[in-house]
Chains A and B, each alone.
Chain A
Amino acid sequence: MSQRTLPRLLQSPAVLLLLVWMLVPLGMTLYFSFIRYVLNSLRRPEWTSPSLSNWRGLGNYEFVLNSKDFWFAVQNSIFIVCSILFATVILGILIAVLINKTFPGQGIVRVLLISPFFVMPAVNAVLWINMILDPVLGLNGLAVGGINSLVEGLRDAPLVGWFFSMWPEFEPISFRATQTSAYAVIMMVTWQWTPFAVLIFMTSLQSEDQQQKEAAILDGASTWSQFRFLTLPHLGRPIAIVVMIQAIFHLSLYAEIEIVSRGNGNKNLPYLIGEFANNNIGAASATGIFAVILANIVAIFLLRMIGKTLME
């Protein structure tokens, strides 16, 4: 036995397990995506069990590509993921830098900041859409109502009354509508995932070298320059981690989309898979393969972009 054989042999069960873990589902998805396979069919009962004799070639892919929601779902997936990433990274950096200073009540503030992360996605969605974004009963409706009655009151006020009487009545935005449901999802997921970004950025900020900062101060760097040239590059790797992990998670958003609008005006690939999977497993699997490809493209693209901008 050569020196390498024994360690490899010892590792192999774990590696095999992982391979099986990954390859079996992927293989099954691939297999289903090339055959006709539906859950229920009165006319063609032979399609209801997976078998090679139902081979359809690229037919499922063609079907998915030509279905009316596919390109919309791809675009919308990317839109939602990128918006959430953008918002969480920016907010995460801002908050992390802010609470990295020592101040009284620091511990409590940090715990409170992290807490949204422990809320279950479905609960998060229900809370947001009913209690905050609801145009009548939610904070959204109450706030707009409050502004309206304030403006109403000011219309009769002396001196400034004429100004306010030109104001229209405000309408609360309904976030279940076709045009806005994606924004509702972006908001609630951003709220939930910003703590994750804060947590990671905060640990990274604490490992920042203070002497480098002092050297920069002596070199005449302003607070902004210190942030731009030292802190931000220092955060490069954590940002990449946050982006990558979140991209993977948010490409598969489902609960929020279901709860906000049942996919009305706001589908992503997993939601489309869910819709197909009501009956057409073949099409659902083909969509799944597209989703895997999309996830890889997005990840590679995002990492390149971050690498370029931050690492000078």
Chain B
Amino acid sequence: MKKLKNIEELKDFRDKCAEKFSGPDKIRIIVGMATCGIAAGAGEVFDSIAGEVMKLGLGDKVTVVRSGCMGACHAEPTVEISIPGEESVLYGNIDSQRAKVLVKNHIMRNEVVTELVLEKAYETIS
């Protein structure tokens, strides 16, 4: 990557990045990995999800992402799944076992695992 030289280059690059991360066939599984998440075991959860995604051959469709704090520290580790065209779903109190269930049910069968859902109680400014 060479340096961006002006605003046009930045805009082009932004559009390219946006396409890369949020195309219509891009499923994102986000694992909250701030200090508290990691202390609660988010590292293992991430590995478990990444492993399951590989095992089930979902590597092309699904990106597993390490993010910062999602705000629900009381329910760490937290995982958010967003499928294009659908409302994203926030899950709490995930361990490596439950992580696999999420991948199987939510991604493979498109079934929300209701008993682990946390209410997403915020809006984001655009």
Do A and B interact? no
